[in-house]
Amino acid sequence: MGLYDALMEEPVGPIDDAPLGEEEKEALRQDLVDVQILKDVLGGQDVKGTVFFCPDCDEDHYLTWDLLAGNLQELLDAGESPVHEPAFDPNPDEYVTWDYARGFLDGYEVFEREDTDEVAGKVRRELQTKGLHADQVKAFMIKVGLEAPPPPAPPGS
Ligand SMILES: [Zn+2]
């Protein structure tokens, strides 16, 4: 269950009153961590939160990162979320869609998790298992910028 679905899903019957499953809770906890990272990173760039289109109200809801975190926490604790409380007097320019935030986070986490050397090592091994020659692997690594080009040969050698 995605965050959007979790927040926006309309109750469809008694089955919705069932407590959240462990998997759903785990996903929500992960979302909470994500929101915290987004607040730290994007908040520094004057992105105050995220905007959701709400099919119930037929309008966009602007949620600050704190509001969103609060909603997620409530969803975790109580199984429902007060998502319809929008941020106070939001400036739309300061909010991004959740899709944008997610995409940003995916890219951000890759760079956080793996420094270039690790990536280079993986690519190198992958190319080698594909049967490329050491020279070809090296040339490829240089081409895509994962390995420094060799110093130019001294003149006259
Ligand atoms: Zn709404």
Q: Give the model confidence (pLDDT) of 1-26 as tens digits.
A: 466 666 665 544 444 556 778 898 99
Instruction: Give pLDDT, residue 140.
Output: 81
Ligand 1 centre distance from Cα of residue 71 (Å): 13
Ligand 1 centre distance from Cα of residue 56 (Å): 5
- One-letter amino acid of 141: M
- One-letter amino acid of 113: R
CA distance 52 to 39: 16
Q: Give the model confidence (pLDDT) of 30-83 as tens digits.
A: 999 999 989 988 888 889 999 988 888 888 889 999 999 998 898 888 887 766
CB of 67 within 8 A of CB of 85?
yes
Quick one: tokens of 76? 């975790």
Ligand 1 centre distance from Cα of residue 21 (Å): 24
| Phi then psi dihedrals of residue 59, to 5 deg | -155, 165
Ligand 1 centre distance from Cα of residue 60 (Å): 8
Percentage of the chain exceeding pLDDT 90? 20
User: Please, which residues bridge with residue 95 across strands?
Assistant: 49
> Is pLDDT of 141 > 50?
yes
